[in-house]
Amino acid sequence: MIFISHRLGRSSREREDDRRREDELQAYFEKMELFLKEHLREPNAGAEVRGVAQARTLGVLQRLRYDSTRRLSVIKFLYGSGLIKNDAGNAIINLQGADLGEADLRWTNLSNIDLHGTNLSRANLSGADLSRANLSEVILYRAKLRGAYLNRAILDGAILNKAALSYARLNGANLSNAKLRGADMRWAYLGEGHDGTVTNLYNADLSGADLSGGRFLSWSWWLRNIGADLHKAYMRKAKLRGANLHRTILEEAMLHQAELDGTGLRKARLKGAFLLDVDLRGADLSWLNLSGTTLSEADLRRANLRGTDLSRANLSGNNLSGANLTSADLSDARLWSANLSGAKLRGANLSGTDLRGVKGLTEEQVATCKAKGAIIDEDPTISSSQPTVSTPLASQSNDTPTQSAAPAQGSIPTPVTGGNSVTASTTSLCHTTG
């Protein structure tokens, strides 16, 4: 009897709490309707009216923090009333600091919404339309964003650590300085938008993120054989340590000064990518297509480039000491002033390869490389007469992207390459020793 009485008492309290929350929600709606009749949406609405409306909104969201259904009703009311839209640049109701954690917003149309500075930790936004939304500095820790539409969304400074972003569309989004550590980004689309706007990942932290494809079961052969699409993405100074980029599309992506050490790049597509001044020590780049890629001033010590297509690539000034270039295609590639101490070049195609000013070659190795069609100094120790290496954006010193390289314009400079790729293979030995 005591147990039954306790259960009945708890049920009664729960019903009372539910009724109280419903009454509070209806009172909020009634008051907001009055504010709307007082022209709350108008630009000349009084600051006092807007202030009261915002205070009431933040208060009711706080009191309903454990009631996800009613919190969703508040968000839908505000959005439908045009009070938290980002159309005019600033929302009428500012939700900054509001706790919307674990909110269920699946498949909801929230395009152009302004939720900057809110807490959406563990929220479910799968399939939601958040295109052009202002989500700057939003906390989306472990949020579910699978298949969400985030086209041209503003996510600068957002925290998306361990968020689920598989199949999400982020083309043209601004993710500069965002935190995406350990995020699941398999098959996400971060490539160029329809209007030519590129995704901005400047200084974003993707350490340990999974942008791969092919490791998980999929009904589609196409999905099994590609990873996330970062075609033409702007990723200057992006942190990708330990990230899984297996089969990722990075063609023509800007990766200037990106941190790629320990990154898995197996079968990634990097044709035409800009990899200026990047750290690729010990990276496995074997059998990749890096044709026409700009890799100048990169650190490729002990990197595995076995069988890699580096035809017409710019490798000027690179540190390739101890690198494995066995059977690599280096035809028409530029290696001005590169360090080849201890590098393995057995079976490499050196037809038209520019090795002027290279370091680490003996006289015998110089002769062997020349016999294979390489362009090389008679005296490899003399490098003062070498031409100036021109690398796009390499001279920029400020941390912020300049207007000339602004991702919003979708313009990424094209590396200067000379000649056509020579396909003739060579089997002779050009193996350096340190």
Render pLDDT for 229-255 as a digit per residue (tens, 0 to 9). Answer: 999 999 999 999 888 888 899 999 999
- What lies within 8 Å, CB to CB, of 190 at 6+ separation is 170, 171, 173, 175, 199, 201, 228, 229, 230, 233
Residue 270 has pLDDT above 50, yes or no: yes
The CA distance from 406 to 12, in Å, is: 60
Q: What is the pLDDT of residues 114-152, one digit of tens each?
A: 999 999 999 999 999 999 999 999 999 999 999 999 999
For residue 113, the model assigns a pLDDT of: 96
**Where are the domains positioned within the chain?**
1-94
The CA distance from 208 to 420, in Å, is: 37
For residue 10, the model assigns a pLDDT of: 65
CB 305 within 8 A of CB 282: no
Residue 220 has pLDDT above 50, yes or no: no
Indicate the burial class of 427 (C-beta count within 10 angstroms; 0-12, 13-18, 19 or more).
Answer: exposed
- Give me the chain's average pLDDT, please: 83
Higher pLDDT, 222 or 78: 78
Q: What is the pLDDT of residues 395-419, one digit of tens each?
A: 343 444 443 344 443 444 444 443 3
Residue 382 has pLDDT above 90, yes or no: no
CB atoms within 10 A of CB 1: 5
Higher pLDDT, 429 or 261: 261
Question: Model's pTM, two decimal places?
Answer: 0.76
For residue 55, the model assigns a pLDDT of: 94
Residue 19 has pLDDT above 50, yes or no: yes
Segment 69-79 shows an average pLDDT of: 93
Most confident of 260-274, 348-362, 380-394: 348-362
For residue 212, the model assigns a pLDDT of: 87
Residue 378: pLDDT band (50, 70, 90) is low
Residue 53 has pLDDT above 50, yes or no: yes
Q: How many CA atoms lie within 13 Å of 374's alpha carbon, on the beta-carbon side? A: 32
- What lies within 8 Å, CB to CB, of 50 at 6+ separation is 40, 92, 93
- State the sign of the Cα–Cα–Cα–Cα dihedral 311, 313, 314, 317: negative
Of 328, 332, 324, give the one whose Cα is nearest residue 432: 324
CB 412 within 8 A of CB 320: no
Residue 225: pLDDT band (50, 70, 90) is low
